[in-house]
Amino acid sequence: MPTLSLPDGAARSFDAPVTGADLAAAIGPGLAKAALLVEVDGELRDLSRPIEEDAAVRVITARDTDALEVIRHDAAHLLAEAVKELYPDVQVTIGPAIEDGFYYDFARDEPFTPADLERIEARMAEIKARDETVAREEWARDDAVKMFEGMGEHYKAELIAAIPDGEPITLYRQGGFVDLCRGPHLPSTGRVGAFKLLKVAGAYWRGDARNEMLQRIYGTAWPDDKQLKAYLHRLEEAEKRDHRRLGREMGLFHFQEEAPGAAFWHPKGWTLFRTLVDYMRIRQDRAGYQEVSTPDMMDSVLWEASGHWQTFREHMFTSQTEDGRHYAVKPMNCPGHVQVYKRGIKSYRDLPLRISEFGKVHRYEPSGALHGLLRVRAFSQDDAHIFCTPEQTEAECRGVTELCLDIYRDFGFEDVQIKFADRPPKRIGADEVWDQLEAALMGALESMGIDYSHNPGEGAFYGPKLEFVLRDAIGREWQCGTLQVDLNLPERLDATYVGEDGQRHRPVMLHRALFGSLERFIGILLEHYGGHLPLWLSPTHAVVATITDQCADYAQAVAARLGDAGLRVDADLRNEKIGYKVREHSAAKVPLILAVGAREAEAGTVSVRRLGSRDQENLALDEAVARIRREVAGPLGGTAVQEGTG
């Protein structure tokens, strides 16, 4: 006779085992109609499964975020059933829910076409309309293998045969379709919500390139049509804002096969890159950081001592010299910064010591994971490490957090979430040390009164961390900055300081990067602004374009005047119509176009047109220079027009 505790504190007792559907009906007809799943002591279950013992329960509806992954998983089963009905000879393999959607992999000799996707999606809608009951079944392993082999589903049979002994074999049946699955699932196909098939891609069986190639159909699913339409609109916006396309149009960078995962920066792109570096350098100088530079390649002895060789080697580029020594191109800067810290004896009076570096690092990422500037193998970090006493840790964490949030505001990101990530399964250091570090980091956040969420198991292998997640103009989230608290690396690399008691102590080491990767941050900026960067960030502030050939000398004089004022300016003296020039420079996202003709040359004026506007303003040259210079000064009052970026 289970007693079930509800989220509002109420409890309901039953005379016999009860299903989630029975519980929802007992609470009320509205909940019974809306119920999709039930959570039992934190575990999501089908509504049809009996609850036999006392438990804390929660009925899940489409309004609960917990339902979304299951809706998408059911959509994958809907997809597989539709494909099997339309193409009976196709073999089904696996079909999980993923971020924003789902996919299913199929073995089929003939490639799926866009017309096939339309047909499959229509059949999915038919199956949804049938409202087929989704039923859970437990099978003996050999019986399940035999059944799928008999159906010609050899991939499913292989998956079942690989399940360890002792684990239950659960199948889910809907209509004439049956699939291997742990569940849970919705009560029927009619509850799936709104869905859309998106594309077909190739995928190796079980993710192994040595295996056969399958066809992967991707889709997205949401609780209702409104949310689906909103997501598809975001996809359209994201396509318009794709930083790779913008990089080409704006002449910023390119990639090529000879250097996978590494950007070739063009002059305008490198100007943008240097603008970010100059900005961050000023912020760090003001915050008391000392900039250093450490070697790009170091002996494996150092990486073994730091623990990276044991835990991160598969992501490192390594080499062996003739004398048998192993070297690694650095994937991170922290061991090098410890070596700088260790030069000379440090006293508690020297702490906190803040060391920064715009260090280029290299990490091996699978080729399939590379994605423009957002996922690369070679990138530069605005990396820094703070060595401090335990008593200084909270204040330093607060200082980093405040600096990080202030910097994001300067770049137009007001909506920032902070996630606290604790110890991962694969880590170094004793649990007692982890207890101390996690308590210190959470204590710092709570003392600051900042809201944060918990990201369990996602800390660095050497310490817990904070992740700073930005929300962009179309609602996407980007994890950028990190702050990690570490006592393990100072221990492993023997970093010490002399305390007030005259004894040697281990410093606390804070690892922090605020942009994270400069390459990735630039990609995020381009997509956030759709290429329409704030004037102070724009690689080219203005183009001076001639209306007629006769005013070329005046155009050059205007460009020179702007350049002398520290502005980044180009002159377009081509024998083309001004309308053509405006369209071309607008496509390249140049924020200001200064058109000059015979009238402007005679009056000493310029006609100013802003990107995205058809209006233009005629200004005296002196006034135009002064206005533009004020506008490009940037949030720090001049970073964009300093020597080196102007």
Nearest partner of 57 among 3, 4, 1, 2, judged by Cα: 4
- For residue 40, give both structure tokens: 């039992």
The CA–CA distances, whole Å, from 628 to 43, 355, 534, 591 equal 59, 35, 12, 11
| CA distance linking residue 646 with residue 633, whole number of Å | 11
Question: Which residue out of 284, 381, 392, 484 is catalytically annotated?
Answer: 381
Q: Known catalytic residue: 511?
A: yes
Instruction: Confirm if 191 and 60 have CB atoms less than 8 A apart.
Output: no
Residues 6+ apart with CB under 8 A from 140: 169
β pairing state of 43-45 and 177-180: unpaired
DSSP 261: T
| CA distance linking residue 180 with residue 300, whole number of Å | 46
The CA–CA distances, whole Å, from 406 to 124, 181, 443 equal 48, 47, 21
Instruction: Confirm if 31 and 46 have CB atoms less than 8 A apart.
Output: no
- For residue 365, give both structure tokens: 């990422």
Q: Give the number of other Cβ atoms within 10 Å of residue 425's Cβ.
A: 6
Question: Which residue out of 156, 243, 511, 585 is catalytically annotated?
Answer: 511
Q: Known catalytic residue: 422?
A: no
* H-type alpha helices, 385-467: 393-410, 431-448
Nearest partner of 464 among 484, 482, 491, judged by Cα: 484
The CA–CA distances, whole Å, from 603 to 552, 557, 563, 620, 622 equal 15, 14, 21, 8, 12
Question: Which residue out of 156, 465, 512, 581 is catalytically annotated?
Answer: 465
| CA distance linking residue 233 with residue 149, whole number of Å | 43
Q: Known catalytic residue: 296?
A: no
The Cβ-side half-sphere exposure at 590, using a 13 Å CA radius, reads 25
Nearest partner of 336 among 306, 362, 379, judged by Cα: 306
Q: Known catalytic residue: 371?
A: no
Instruction: Confirm if 24 and 45 have CB atoms less than 8 A apart.
Output: no
Question: Which residue out of 72, 84, 334, 480 is catalytically annotated?
Answer: 334
End-to-end Cα spacing for the chain: 78
Question: Which residue out of 123, 191, 337, 363 is catalytically annotated?
Answer: 363
Q: Known catalytic residue: 385?
A: yes
Question: Which residue out of 73, 123, 216, 385 is catalytically annotated?
Answer: 385
Q: Known catalytic residue: 551?
A: no
Instruction: Confirm if 125 and 85 have CB atoms less than 8 A apart.
Output: no
Question: Which residue out of 22, 105, 383, 572 is catalytically annotated?
Answer: 383
| CA distance linking residue 277 with residue 266, whole number of Å | 16
| CA distance linking residue 344 with residue 457, whole number of Å | 37
| CA distance linking residue 480 with residue 477, whole number of Å | 10
Peptide bond into 352 cis (omega under 30): yes
| CA distance linking residue 21 with residue 626, whole number of Å | 71
Residue owning tokens 């019974």 = 32
- Cross-strand bridge partners of residue 378: 362
Nearest partner of 516 among 465, 565, 553, judged by Cα: 465
Q: Known catalytic residue: 426?
A: no
| CA distance linking residue 97 with residue 72, whole number of Å | 5
* Catalytic positions: 334, 363, 381, 383, 385, 465, 511
